[in-house]
Structure 1
């Protein structure tokens, strides 16, 4: 039976791979010596390939947007319930239609993606164990969950079943619909975990959906024993919104795998990798995580050792650097002292060269000052004896000559004002000179006085 099925699937695969797109045309000879054109066709791309992209970043973006949308519905509905009660019937968290629409849409999309996975898995030519059959039950299960979420049909069925077969429990109606739903969800999660073993994103969101669905069921069952509160309501509604979204994302990641990677069962791929000499068996998630941690630890240790070696090298080079800096500083000081000495010697030389010139200028200035003083000094008028025509006058002239010293003294006394005028003129000429020239002139006069 398996051999016939394998041959049938191989024939179907050959028929599916018949070219349908027009390619290059080649001529085939006919019996009459002519030729006819034969069109080579390529297999068409599946519509699902244009929807489910092979790029991983696109799926990460879709996952982020879906989770953000769920968070927006949760927080926005809570805000509308508290501050905008007029919109609570549509967008509210407790009685709004949007809270019911979001998980229904997620479950519908999950059913469509599950059908895509079924379509690709059925065409596997090596799945002899029939692992693909689980998708025949997954697709209608997700559709049933979608209908019940949108219409609350499970509550009506639970009331009818409890009226026909009543249970002696407080939450009898909840148990009627929650027990089969929980069993089906956990069973599908266990079976699909084998299918999605090579899809890290699919496994993550699959178990996230399972855990959040169990949390939602626990809150619903334990509500009579728990105190009503705002936090409990947020936990319940958040779990009710998260598990359908996570289920849809797990189907999306597995659709990417079966479309763009491989549609063969994971057990067969594991056996092929185990038998292959070029590749090793793929380790599990935790094994890969531990291996990555060990590699990161080794890299950190290597980096730490490298930094320690660089630090030791810098510590060894520091004394030499300090000595070199000190020697450089001393050399700079010596060079600066030498330049200062050269400048000082040049200044002394220039001063020595200017000294004779200064002495000559001082001598010229003193000579000029003396000449100016001599020109400004008034000349004394010598007395001339008066001519006398008589002897008495001549005798009087002799008497006047004998009395000349007294007259001379008298003239000297009369000449004192003229001497004072000469000093005043000298002071004026001294004031006309600069301070430096006056100092030099006084020094020159003192030297002349000492010499005399």
Structure 2
């Protein structure tokens, strides 16, 4: 079992360094997220060496023997605390670099759960299971979590090699608080609000209202304010209060400079009154408004007249312009080309043939 665990942990370290090498070739990972895989590979290497040499057990025995530790399984606790810190930090960092909701990330979560179960079984397994069951269950869990961890690294190494070696978009964004973190923060906020002085004043007001109804004498918010110890005010608060007091004082009779001017709208004469009254200054170059003539009226008339002129010709008659064009076209056709073949040619070919004909 020790050989199997050491082989699997050695495979995990090699896969971690392979992922580190592929991720270091990234072109868009400007924040250097790929460096977390160096830590993952180092942790796997430390676990592999510890599994082969068992140096952690000798170190824990010497530490527990030289001190008066009365803990439960003191030797196990001495090496499990740093090992748990290293392993959980590696799990957390590598999950941040993996794509969100990926298979490799789910396998990492499963390996973390199995590793925690293996640690708890080592510490308090004798309190839950029979004594004969503790050792085989511990060996099974200690062999299972490295296997699941190596599977997750193998899946992620394939993803980094054949899909993309860039950092995932979720890893570049700040981590969102979980649901339990939000609930704990909300509970702490409510507790702070309940311990606040305003809450006490509201409670005193409710107690005073209840006392007026029942006829008993209770403390009010005024008595609480009177019993409150005097707090030393700072210089800044004194200046602020003096400035507020000055701003709330009634203003003395205003000077002519600071008096507000009553702005009223000026009644301007209309255009007819201004034209009739010669005393009113007229603006220069006053042109009467003229309607813009519609531009399409004459165009449509000319188009209709041209259409009527064209309809005067019969079906067998042709326009003189068309005749002149056909004559010029027939005169420009080189020898050896019929009009139909000449029309089938493109403009470039016609120009080339005419240029060669003129050069002769």
Instruction: Identify the TM-score tier after normalising by the shorter chain.
Output: 0.3 to 0.5
TM-score with structure 1 setting the length: 0.36
Q: Which has the larger radius of gyration?
A: 1
Q: Which has the higher contact order (CA 8 A, sep 6+)?
A: 2
TM-score (norm 2): 0.45
**Is the helix fraction higher in 1 or 2?**
1
